Structure 1
Amino acid sequence: MPTARIWFDILTPKQILFFGPLVKSLRKEECDVLVTSRAYRELEPLAEMAGLKLTFVGERGGKGKEAQLVASTERQSLIIPIARDFDPQVAVSVASGVCARVAFGLGAKHIAVNDSPHSEIAGRLSLPLSHHLLCPWVIPKSAWGIYGLAPRQVSTYRALDPAAWLKRPALGGPVPKLKSGKKTITIRAPESDAPYLAKADSSFMRKVLGAIAKGFAAHNLVVLGRYDQQVLQLQKEFGETFIVPDGPIDGASLLKKSDAFVGMGGTMNAEAALLGVPTVSAFQGSLYTDRYLLSEGILSRAGTPASIVKTLGRILRDDFKAAQERKAMKILDWMEDPVAVLQSFILKAAMQA
């Protein structure tokens, strides 16, 4: 007999890295675990690298509001019989509206694990139906009040999310071929299809890449896209100057080979900083995780192409990287393992179901 029945809905590459160790650990505890997902670039090959079997149901639906609404509604209809037959005691997701709605309708507890209160659309579709939320301790409980969560419904762990995989061996997947004898700058493209960036400058990425290409042409330049169309655009516009991988890569292993990182999102900013890679956050907004890393001195912030280039020139020094690595190692060692915290909470919730 399984000790618990737990359903995970995993929607992004980051969630594979974050939830993968937890799924494996729960299965070792003889829990019955269902892991669903949807069609998304990088997910299936990354899941194979992580040794995680996914049940794919539906798709995201692209950038348009109506297309996403139709895709979400269709996915919900498809997933209901799967979840009903599995009969979970607990459902877990970052902010899957489908998972939260189906779990609520079937009488299961939905537990959200989320570090992105700025992502309002996803939050509004999932968090009001959640039994509980767990998040990094750097995010105040009051940040979740707009989603109808009382402070007693929010618990924290003393870690940033990348600690879940950085405290474990790297996946050992592919890494782009880099020219020896050159320093490497890796850039992560923004999540341009995300609703929270709908009002952001759509030309920002091109301006940043153009400035970096002009200022650091003698370096290995790698840019990581998020969507098929974005990757094709990057290859077309910047393929002569930048390495633009069109398949999954082992992000942590690439970062370890990088001398600097520029992130236009959130997760890889934290991942790079905690690995001791000199990191520039170029996210078009404000993140609690960035604020913490800034306060600890392992992240820089730059909001314009010119300031990004200037900051890169400062942080590419060998002595700067050595100091960053020492600071980051202490911080990562101090953080607790999120997997252990989440497993304990989820099992307790399942037993009380």
Structure 2
Amino acid sequence: MSEQLTFWFDLENAPDVLYFEPITKSLRELGHTVYTTSRDYSAVPELAELYGIGGAVVGKHGGNKKISKILVGLQRSLQLMLWSRGKNIDLAVGFGSRPMAVACGLLRMPNVTVYDYEHVFISALNRFCDWIFVPQEVPLERLTARGTPEHKLLRYSGLKEEVYTGVYEPDYSLLEKLKLDPERIIVTIRPPATLAHYHDHTSVVINQKILEDIAKQPDVQCILMNRADDETFNDFLKYPNINDLPFPVKGLDLIAISDAMISGGGTMVREAAALGVPAFSTFTGEQGAVDEELDRLGRLMLVRDPADVAKIEYHKRTDRSVKDFQKTQVRDFFVQEYIRLAKDNKAGSKKA
């Protein structure tokens, strides 16, 4: 066996679990030691346990006030520093986790982050991360304009969602479990993240208009995936063809049985695009380069104005088999790169 390495992955949000699960599984199968930490937010610890990568629960979410987010984030950094003591970690990996980046920076622990939306707050990542993975679709000038050091940049091709959609096998029994009529159109809606720092109210208006239109179409069944502690769209649950989820489900399975996926965030709409399911993004903040490219390729439609809602058409998918565009290439790329960076560190070199 090759040299054993020790990795630490920090899970801050639900999509992180899906991204890291196949990577951590591959690393463990290769004989490496893997630690995970989870933030107590939006069922992240429970989801991590469900996918078999549960670990220590460290820290919480800071709410929707900026000062609270900063203070709670700093507190989490200190908690992560204490947790990591004595574990001899060769490489720490986060998906835009600022508390991890700060903790590692203060501990002088080699760490890498990944993000696929260039308009997030990245100053802490730019300063404290040793390496930063960004999709090749994001123009260099967008990154350097926001202070990203060019020498820290590492590029990857494909969607980060393809790390796990490439090894995904759908469970179509969910259709029966949710008591959905297979003869009617099924639309899944993930409302916008109203607590996120990048939230724009126009997205709420667009989603309200979409739900109003669906309520008038009895041939459409809508699954409304409300976000944790957000009741913005609850009034629409009074309509017989709009329902919330009666129990937790895997998002990919829900996408696989849907005829259309509408999301005010990024991850689920890109998952749908990766699986070949009609995808509509109602995100109205600063548009990221990845979604712009998917729109150009016809793999998703950007709905950025309430007037654009009229352009959305729902059709019954005759073929429910999901596409598998990348297979395991994206997953294998990240596994190999994380091993390479960890080995460089262990050998006393932090050059990428």
**TM norm structure 1:** 0.87
Which residue is 2:141 aligned to? 142
Q: Is the 8 A contact 1:96 1:125 kept in 2?
A: no
Higher percent of residues as helix: 1
Identity of aligned residues (%): 22
Shift in Å, 1:289: 1.7
Shift in Å, 1:305: 3.7
Q: Is the 8 A contact 1:36 1:55 kept in 2?
A: yes
Shift in Å, 1:257: 0.9
1:261 counterpart letter in structure 2 = M
Shift in Å, 1:178: 1.6
**CA distance in structure 2 between the aligned counterparts of 1:206 and 1:282, rounded to whole angstroms:** 7
Which residue is 1:344 aligned to? 336
Shift in Å, 1:75: 1.6
Shift in Å, 1:151: 2.9
Shift in Å, 1:143: 2.5
**CA distance in structure 1 between the aligned counterparts of 2:36 and 2:157, rounded to whole angstroms:** 26
**CA distance in structure 2 between the aligned counterparts of 1:246 and 1:191, rounded to whole angstroms:** 21
Question: Deviation per CA, 1:211-253, whole angstroms, max 9, x where unpaired?
Answer: 33344343110111222x21x4433543444211265321111
SS in 1 for 2:92: strand
Question: Deviation per CA, 1:28-58, whole angstroms, max 9, x where unpaired?
Answer: 2222221111111231332233111121011
Question: Deviation per CA, 1:67-118, whole angstroms, max 9, x where unpaired?
Answer: 2223222222222111122232211111111111111111111201110111
**CA distance in structure 1 between the aligned counterparts of 2:262 and 2:102, rounded to whole angstroms:** 36
SS in 1 for 2:45: helix
Shift in Å, 1:203: 4.1
Which residue is 2:7 aligned to? 6
TM alignment of 1:80-95, pairs within 5 A: 80-95=81-96
Aligned structure 1 segments of 4 or more residues deviating by more than 6 angstroms: none
Shift in Å, 1:200: 3.4
1:260 aligns with 2:252: no
Which residue is 1:182 aligned to? 184
Distance 1:205 1:192, change over 3 A: farther
Shift in Å, 1:317: 5.6
**CA distance in structure 2 between the aligned counterparts of 1:146 and 1:31, rounded to whole angstroms:** 37
- The number of aligned residues is 339
TM alignment of 1:200-279, pairs within 5 A: 200-201=201-202, 203-204=204-205, 207-227=208-228, 229-230=229-230, 232-241=231-240, 242-245=242-245, 247-279=247-279
Q: Any gaps of 5 or more consecutive residues in structure 2?
A: 346-352
**CA distance in structure 1 between the aligned counterparts of 2:246 and 2:68, rounded to whole angstroms:** 25
Q: Any gaps of 5 or more consecutive residues in structure 1?
A: none
**CA distance in structure 1 between the aligned counterparts of 2:182 and 2:58, rounded to whole angstroms:** 43
1:163 aligns with 2:155: no
1:114 counterpart letter in structure 2 = Y
Shift in Å, 1:24: 1.2
Shift in Å, 1:201: 3.3
